[in-house]
Amino acid sequence: MPSTTRRAFLQQTVAGAAGASLLTLPASGAAGASDKIVLGLVGCGGRGTHVAGIFHNVKDVDVAWVCDPDEARRMKAAETFGVPGERSVSDLRRVLDDRQVDAVLVATPDHWHSPASILACDAGKHVYVEKPCSHNVREGRLLVDAARRNKSLVQHGTQCRSTGMMQQAVSKLREGIIGPVLMAKAWNVQRRNSIGHPETGSPPAGFDYDLWVGPAPMVPYQANRIQGGWHW
């Protein structure tokens, strides 16, 4: 199907979800002749469900799969988006095997961002992946290669960088408003709650810790390593 007949993938979502340029999905092996965008959510935490909710409210976008190694989170997301039980899964490959899926939203912990996105591209899907798109430079280059190899659209969700204010600031810098830039410093003054010092132990029932660790080096389960704690 010509790309001009497809629905605008992010037409109504970029302001709230990505703040990035408009994407229109081209024809792919996934969607057949339908104008409906079929989306799989990979990572059902706060960010994933927030962005999926924005997609869910766009006409002709169907959040058809939810995927997470945490059963409780997965079930809550399935209920939110009306996803049937057989499409609420822990294994990403189940989502990618569905030829009706056009695109996946990757909102996992950072160490899964590039591997999940590369697998999605190789399965013929388009990708919206949360920041950072890769855990290291090598992974990022492999993701670019996968996107080009499969003619997949990959959008990296770095918020704020495409706002009018940021565009104006960059334009002014390039026009030389402060002269040559020799150094830039940045700092973050948000105060965070303590993640505590729990002991290592066994994962709770319904949480596939081995799958959660995935491509990262295996370390003993510890409650403050997961679901927010992994940032630190």
Check: CATH 3.40.50.720 for 3-157?
A: yes
Angle CA 57–161–19, to nearest 5: 15
- Token pair 């899926």 is found at 101
pLDDT at residue 163, as a whole number = 87
Mean pLDDT by 10 residues, the chain (232 residues): 37 36 45 76 96 94 97 97 97 97 96 97 97 92 97 90 89 94 88 88 95 94 87 80
Global confidence as pTM: 0.80
pLDDT at residue 24, as a whole number = 52
> Which residues are 24's β-sheet partners?
8
Burial of 161 (0-12, 13-18, 19+ CB in 10 A): middle
Using CA atoms, how far residue 7 sits from 1, 16, 127, in Å, is 12, 18, 16
Q: Where are the domains of the chain?
A: 3-157
> Which residues are 41's β-sheet partners?
66, 105
pLDDT at residue 20, as a whole number = 36
pLDDT at residue 135, as a whole number = 85
Q: Which 3-state string (H, E, C) describes the chain?
A: CCHHHCCECCCCCHHHHHCCCCCECCCCCCCCCCCCEEEEEECCCHHHHHHHHHHHCCCCEEEEEEECCEHHHHHHHHHHHCCCHHHEECCHHHHHCCCCCCEEEECCCHHHHHHHHHHHHHCCCEEEEECCCCCCHHHHHHHHHHHHHHCCCEEEECCCCCCHHHHHHHHHHHCCCCCCCCCCCCCCCCCCCCCCCCCECCCCCCECHHHHHCCCCCCCCEHHHCCCHHHC
**β-sheet with 154-157: strand ranges across:** 88-89, 61-67, 37-42, 103-106, 126-130, 154-157
